[in-house]
Amino acid sequence: MGKIVVGVDGSEGSRQALRWAFAEAKLRGGTLEAVTVWQYPITASLPTFGAMNTPDDFSTDAKNTLLAILAEEGITIDAPVHVTTLVAEGNPARALLDAAEKADLLVVGSRGHGGFTGVLVGSISQQCVHHSKCPVVVVRHT
Amino acid sequence: MTSPSSGSTVIAAVDFSDHGEGIVREGLLLARAAGESLHIIHVAAGEPILAGYDKEDINSFTRSARAGELTDEHRRVRELAETLTDTTGVDVHPLVVMGPASETLLTAIDELHASHIVLGTHGHGGMHHLMFGSVAQELVRRSAVPVLLVPVVKR
């Protein structure tokens, strides 16, 4: 049984990637792993006088956001595809590549939150294509 | 170009100079899952431009050599398509087209009403931007349909 890994950052591009990945997993009778990645904000290196969020806070927020997106896209526990979630911290491309190490497909949107609007292919998607050992599907953001 | 009756197809762009099996395999997986046909497209290089040579002699030689190569490429794509249709149950169509690769593939996506395109990327070569492959890069930028990129690993 095949495994499809998809990167979700909440952008419309990543939602399109998620929809494609879910449909493909359903067609193939495979599993789907939705991966979201969080990073410490730059301000984490500044003194915050005790108001700093803990890693658990960031991770929980990221997980809740991911679950909300899945629900909005109609991907719930009773969906006809076995769906797992993964919340990782660090470099997004690295995390996606690690998650897809033994996957059949890694799915990314052509463009996420990052970069300028004029950039047609996001840097994370490009890094995934460059370094992935498994096939990568780039879903065009329309 | 002929369109399949089902109205939708997957394109696998093969280049016999690298490892096409992975590209064809991924194309078959997509096509089979969606109940679509598969077009195996080989984009043949155009005629070489021989600037600065006295073309009288060279042209006839390269033309016939190129014609021989094209016939060979046609045969290989056709045989591959026939074998795959017989063994996989997916309706596989062979196609050899000449022209600049990116433009030709983008045109093929339109004309065949393709749902996906599958192509290879180069492995870890020397220069960073060359790892992606200029055709793959162009397709990812401009294709309206999802692009499946198969890493071509150098052995």
Across the interface, which of A110, A125, A135 has its CB nearest the CB of B150?
A135
CB contact under 8 A, B131 and A27: no
Tens of pLDDT, residues B52-63: 555 566 666 677
In a domain, A140, yes or no: yes
Tens of pLDDT, residues A106-130: 999 987 666 555 555 678 888 999 8
Q: Which structure tokens are listed for B24?
A: 């064809």
Residues A118 and A139 in one domain: yes
How much of chain B exceeds pLDDT 70, in percent?
A: 74
Distance (Å) from the alpha carbon of A18 to chain B's nearest alpha carbon: 12
- List of long-range contacts for A16-19, beta carbons under 8 Å, 24+ apart: A16/A109, A16/A139, A16/A140, A16/A141, A16/A142, A17/A107, A17/A108, A17/A109, A17/A137, A17/A139, A18/A69, A18/A70, A18/A73, A18/A75, A18/A107, A19/A73
In a domain, A123, yes or no: yes
Angle at B146 between CA A106 and CA A105, to 5 degrees: 15
- What is the rounded CA–CA span in Å between residue A11 and residue A17? 10
In a domain, A103, yes or no: yes
Residues A74 and A105 in one domain: no
How many domains would you assign to chain A?
A: 2
Residues A73 and A126 in one domain: no
CB contact under 8 A, B131 and A121: no
Residues of chain B short of pLDDT 70, as ranges, are: 1-7, 17-19, 46-61, 122-132, 153-155
What global pTM score does this model have?
0.85
Amino acid present at A37: V
In a domain, A26, yes or no: yes
Domain that holds residue A78: 19-31+61-84
Q: For B143, phi and psi rounded to 5 degrees?
A: -70, 135
- What is the rounded CA–CA span in Å between residue A125 and residue B53? 44
- A15, A28, A108 from A6: Cα distances, Å: 10, 15, 6
Across the interface, which of B128, B131, B147 has its CB nearest the CB of A138?
B147
CATH number at residue A99: 3.40.50.620
Which segments of chain B are extended strands (E)? 9-14, 37-44, 92-98, 114-122, 147-152
